Amino acid sequence: MKLWAGRFSKETDAMMDDFNASIRFDSRMYRQDILGSAAHVRMLGACGIIPPADAELIRKTLFEILEDIEQGKIEFDQSAEDIHMNIETLLIERIGQVGKKLHTGRSRNDQVALDFRMYIRDEIKNIKALLADMEQTLIKLSESHLDTIMPGYTHLQRAQPITLAHHLMAYFQMFRRDIERLDDCYKRVNIMPLGSGALASTTYPINRMMVAEELGFDGITENSLDGVSDRDFALELASCLSIIMVHLSRFSEEIILWSSSEFSFIELDDAYSTGSSIMPQKKNPDAAELVRGKSGRVFGSLMALLTVMKGLPLAYNKDMQEDKESLFDAIDNVKSCLGIFIKMLDTMKINKANMRNAAKGGFTNATDLADYLVRKGIPFRDCHEIVGKMVAYCIGKKIGLEDMTIEEMRQFSECITEDVYESISLEACVGGRKVPGGPAPESVLASIESGKAFLDAL
């Protein structure tokens, strides 16, 4: 017998049962559902809406059910539709009439909003912890590569020399913003919707704040229609997750490039690479490629959620049952991507010599040569022109700017003297960029310190 069967004179068709049921995917919210019900029923007892002894028995039995689920003793029943009715059915099976009082003053509409918010709240904490691990890994790597010179790129063309630490700390900033975005999202997730009822609240003298307090919410929703129909918090999380995946995907792309023999900046550990079934020599960066690929899937979840919510009239509509699978999938994938990425970074080998050689080629010190001429009193635009000509000359001779003799250099500008060589060494190019946010080791160290303070305060 279905809990709502009263007004029906026929059984639901088996195909309809299957189509309608969400237990396949919402069973993962069993813990939140039980804790939410336990808080609700305690409040019903405390407010004299049901006898306190009944409330106590229901609460105790709910916790027993929780333990049985956790020990794998319970199989959910598809004909009970969703996690909410599965738990309620189990409760009634165990304590009969008293169990039937649990759903007083509540609807599945505010119940599912509650469970979903509680579930998301827990997962935000898990994802934040993984992001913090990622940040620790980046700091650890950066600390040992403050002097590891590599080319910085624009348009994927070598541009100016930087260090690996500086490059990695750029990702630190991205993941830091991701953590901050999750914190901000959390504020709107952590609002308690129970008491909204089906849509128009309830006539019972319930105490919503009491429930909110037991469950650790920061406040209660202020409109019952909004309480049951709002899924902004899910959209916000999906957006946060999508942005995390943008960052991971860009990072993946660099790892893939860097591990190619054309770059040879890094070598991924065997434990996080795979081979080819036909080409014996292959070692592929599959972890990074999968992360790059899964970004598409997470963006898809965001788009799916936006599209499900678009155009829904107030308040609850069954369309909204479609909110869970997409978000769960996005959450699962972001967690597994972060987990594997951290291990991949932690174990990769860095080929400092190849990074340095790449920085040496490609005239990455050309800007510094122009800046040298500026210091000799020439306006920057003219310096740019002079150095451009010097670069063209060097390309013809297949040499670097620093390989020109002083006589060759002086053909382009009389202002150039012997001190030019130390001004355009890679160390000078990097070390001279001491401005806050620059690649000089002391500047990167300062950003590492501020990063550590951020992590310590989490």
Sites of contact with ligand ARG (CB under 6 A): 22, 26, 82, 108-109, 112, 316, 318, 320-321
Which helix (H) or strand (E) element contains residue 421? helix 420-423
The Cα–Cα gap between 261 and 263 comes to 5
Give, in order, the Cα–Cα distances in Å from 130 to each of 124, 126, 245.
10, 6, 13
Question: In the complex with ligand ARG, which residue's Cβ is closer, 26 or 135?
Answer: 26
Amino acid making up residue 162: I
Question: In the complex with ligand ARG, which residue's Cβ is closer, 85 or 345?
Answer: 85
Question: In the complex with ligand ARG, which residue's Cβ is closer, 308 or 404?
Answer: 308
The partner residues of 133 in beta bridges, in order of sequence, read none
Question: In the complex with ligand ARG, which residue's Cβ is closer, 225 or 243?
Answer: 225
Question: In the complex with ligand ARG, which residue's Cβ is closer, 172 or 233?
Answer: 233
Q: Residues near 191 by Cβ (< 8 Å), separated by ≥ 6?
A: 117, 217, 218, 219, 220, 221
The partner residues of 191 in beta bridges, in order of sequence, read 219
The least CB distance from residue 328 to ligand ARG, in Å, is 12
The least CB distance from residue 247 to ligand ARG, in Å, is 31
| Alpha helix positions (H), 144-261 | 164-189, 208-214, 224-229, 232-258
The Cα–Cα gap between 19 and 11 comes to 14
The least CB distance from residue 25 to ligand ARG, in Å, is 9
Question: In the complex with ligand ARG, which residue's Cβ is closer, 21 or 288?
Answer: 21
What is the total residue count of the chain? Answer: 458
Other CB atoms within 10 Å distance of the CB of residue 212: 23
Identify which of 181, 55, 225, 37 has the alpha carbon closest to the alpha carbon of residue 118. Answer: 37
The least CB distance from residue 445 to ligand ARG, in Å, is 50
Identify which of 67, 64, 194, 178 has the alpha carbon closest to the alpha carbon of residue 118. Answer: 194
The least CB distance from residue 241 to ligand ARG, in Å, is 20
Peptide bond preceding 446 in cis form (omega within 30 of 0) = no
Question: In the complex with ligand ARG, which residue's Cβ is closer, 304 or 345?
Answer: 304
CB 193, CB 121: distance < 8 Å: no
The least CB distance from residue 109 to ligand ARG, in Å, is 5
Amino acid making up residue 399: I
Question: In the complex with ligand ARG, which residue's Cβ is closer, 172 or 316?
Answer: 316
DSSP string of 87-113, one letter each residue: HHHHHHHHHGGGGGGTTTT--HHHHHH
Pairing status of strand 219-220 against strand 191-192? parallel
Catalytic residue numbers, as ranges:
155, 276
Q: Which residues of 322-335 are buried (b: 16+ CB within 10 A; e: fewer)?
A: ebbebbbbbbebbb
Amino acid making up residue 214: E
CB 163, CB 444: distance < 8 Å: yes
The Cα–Cα gap between 385 and 366 comes to 11
The least CB distance from residue 455 to ligand ARG, in Å, is 36
The least CB distance from residue 318 to ligand ARG, in Å, is 6
The Cα–Cα gap between 258 and 338 comes to 19
Q: What is the DSSP letter of 218?
A: S
